[in-house]
C-alpha cells in the first residue's frame, strides 16, 4: 500500500514538473518578439541647429545622412557583418567635412585637431579605441584595428599613430583636418574668452556638436557600434571625451543592444551612459526605448547633461532620444527608413 502511494506521488510530481516546463516553453515562444532581418541607425551629433536654416542646407544635410546610411544598409542587406556596416558608414561620415569627426574635426584651444574614436563588437564583447590622434585619416578604422589586431582596448596620441602606421592605415598631415568654418569658430571663442575670461564649459551652449556614430544589427543577430569625433571646440590639455570610452560613448552586447552617444562628454563619462543603457535592459528588464528615454530625457536632462544617443536592440528596435534641440540621424531596416534632424 505504502509503495503504491510513493509511486503515485512520484508520478504526480513528474507530471507537474513536465507541465511547468511546457508552460515555460510556450510562454517564451509566444513572448519572443520577431527579429528584423537587419537594422542600422546613425547620428551626426546632437546640438542646437536652428530649425529655420535655409531649405537648401536642410536638403544637403538630409542627403548626406541618406548617403551615409545607404552604405551600411547595403552591407547588411547583402549579408555583411554589423561590424563592417558600422566601420564603413562611419568612415564615410569622417570624410565628410560637415561632421565634427575625421576631416571636419573641430579645433582645440591650442589650435590643433585631436580626434577620438571607438568600436565594439557585441558578439565577442571585444572593443578598440583611439584618443587624441592627429594624423590618422579615419580614426574609426584605427579603433577597429586596435580591437582586431592588438591585445589592448585603448591607444592614445603618438602610440596610436605608430600603431596605425604599422597596420597600413592611411595617414595624413595634421593640416588635412583644417576647415575654415571650424577655425573661425575657435577664433571667435578665443576672442570671447579673452573678453569674458570664460572657460570651455561657459562656452559650451554655443558650441556645435557633430560627432558621428552608428549602431547595427546584422542577419546573424550580431550587434556592433562605433563613435568618432573631434571632441569639443576649444577643448584643452589633451582633453578626451566620452566618444572613445567604451561604456561611456559606445557599447555593444548581443544580449541587449548596440549604442553610440553624442553630447557633452563629461556627463556621458560620469554616468557611463552607453553601458548603463545595456545594463538597464539586462538587469532591469527594461525595453530599449524606456531605458534610453529615462537616461537621456529624464536623468541627464535634469542635470543639464546635453546630448543624445542612437541605439538598436537585438530585435532591431531603435531608440534615438536627445535632450538638445536637434540630432542629425537616420535609420533603416526592411520596410522602414527615416532621416531627421529635429522633431521632424
Interface residues with ligand ASP (CB under 6 A)?
45, 209, 211, 229, 231-232, 241-243, 262-263, 265
Q: Which is nearer to ligand ASP, 128 or 244 (CB)?
A: 244
Residues 6+ apart with CB under 8 A from 149: 167
Report yes or no: 250 and 120 within 8 Å, Cβ to Cβ: yes
Which of 81, 100, 101 is CA-nearest to residue 91?
101
131 vs 316, beta carbon nearer ligand ASP? 131
How is residue 33 annotated by DSSP? P
**Least distance CB 108 / ligand ASP (angstroms):** 11
Q: Which is nearer to ligand ASP, 81 or 233 (CB)?
A: 233
Burial letters 219-231, b for 16+ CB under 10 A, else e: beebbbbbbbbbb
Q: Is 211 designated active site?
A: yes
The alpha-carbon radius of gyration of the chain (Å, integer) is 23
By the 8 A CB rule, do 99 and 43 touch? no
- Between residues 75 and 306, which has the closer beta carbon with respect to ligand ASP? 306
Q: Nearer Cβ to ligand ASP, position 264 or 280?
A: 264
Closest contact distance (angstroms) between CB of 267 and ligand ASP is 9
User: Regarding beta strands 127-133 and 154-156, do their DSSP bridges make them parallel or antiparallel, or are they unpaired?
Assistant: parallel
Identify the sign of the CA torsion 262, 49, 57, 333. Answer: positive
Among 211, 227, 233, 262, the active-site one is: 211
Residue 291 is placed in which grid cell? Answer: 531605458
Alpha carbons 73 and 332: distance in angstroms, whole number = 7
CB 242 within 8 A of CB 271: no
User: What is the closest distance, in whole angstroms, from the C-beta atom of residue 306 to ligand ASP in the complex?
Assistant: 9
Q: How far is the CB of 43 from ligand ASP (least distance, A)?
A: 9
Q: Show the cell assigned to 299.
A: 536623468
Q: In what order do the strands lie in the sheet with 257-263?
A: 250-252, 257-263, 307-313, 318-319
Sign, CA dihedral 68-342-308-36, equals negative
State the nearest-atom distance from the C-beta of 241 to ligand ASP, in Å: 2
Q: 213 vs 316, which CB is nearer to ligand ASP? A: 213
Closest approach, Cβ 178 to ligand ASP, in A, equals 19
Active-site residues, by number, are: 211
Amino acid at each position: 500500500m505504502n509503495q503504491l502511494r510513493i509511486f503515485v506521488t512520484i508520478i504526480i510530481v513528474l507530471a507537474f514538473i513536465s507541465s511547468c516546463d511546457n508552460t515555460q516553453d510556450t510562454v517564451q515562444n509566444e513572448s519572443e518578439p520577431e527579429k528584423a532581418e537587419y537594422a542600422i541607425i546613425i547620428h551626426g551629433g546632437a546640438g542646437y541647429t536652428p530649425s529655420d536654416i535655409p531649405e537648401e542646407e536642410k536638403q544637403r544635410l538630409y542627403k548626406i545622412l541618406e548617403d551615409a546610411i545607404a552604405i551600411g544598409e547595403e552591407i547588411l542587406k547583402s549579408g555583411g557583418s554589423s561590424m563592417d556596416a558600422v566601420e564603413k558608414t562611419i568612415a564615410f561620415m569622417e570624410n565628410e567635412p560637415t561632421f565634427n569627426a575625421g576631416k571636419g574635426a573641430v579645433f582645440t584651444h591650442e589650435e590643433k585637431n585631436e580626434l577620438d574614436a571607438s568600436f565594439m563588437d557585441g558578439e565577442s564583447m571585444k572593443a578598440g579605441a583611439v584618443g587624441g590622434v592627429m594624423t590618422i585619416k579615419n580614426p574609426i578604422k584605427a579603433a577597429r584595428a586596435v580591437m582586431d589586431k592588438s591585445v589592448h582596448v585603448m591607444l592614445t596620441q603618438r602610440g596610436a599613430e605608430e600603431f596605425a602606421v604599422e597596420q597600413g592605415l592611411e595617414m595624413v598631415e595634421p593640416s588635412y583636418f583644417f576647415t575654415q568654418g571650424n577655425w573661425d569658430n575657435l577664433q571667435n571663442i578665443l576672442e570671447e574668452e579673452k573678453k569674458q575670461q570664460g572657460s570651455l564649459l561657459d562656452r559650451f551652449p554655443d558650441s556645435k556638436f557633430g560627432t558621428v556614430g552608428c549602431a547595427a544589427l546584422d542577419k546573424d543577430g550580431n550587434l556592433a557600434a562605433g563613435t568618432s569625433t573631434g571632441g569639443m571646440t576649444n577643448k584643452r590639455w589633451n582633453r578626451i571625451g566620452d566618444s572613445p570610452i567604451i561604456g561611456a560613448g559606445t557599447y555593444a552586447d548581443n544580449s541587449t543592444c548596440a549604442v553610440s552617444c553624442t553630447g557633452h562628454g563629461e556627463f556621458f563619462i560620469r554616468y557611463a551612459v552607453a553601458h548603463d543603457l545595456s545594463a538597464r535592459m539586462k538587469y532591469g528588464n527594461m525595453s530599449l526605448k524606456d531605458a534610453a528615454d529615462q537616461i537621456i530625457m529624464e536623468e541627464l536632462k535634469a542635470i543639464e547633461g546635453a546630448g543624445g544617443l542612437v541605439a538598436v536592440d537585438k530585435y532591431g528596435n531603435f531608440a534615438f532620444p536627445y535632450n538638445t534641440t536637434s540630432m542629425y540621424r537616420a535609420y533603416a531596416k526592411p520596410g522602414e527608413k527615416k532621416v531627421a534632424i529635429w522633431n521632424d
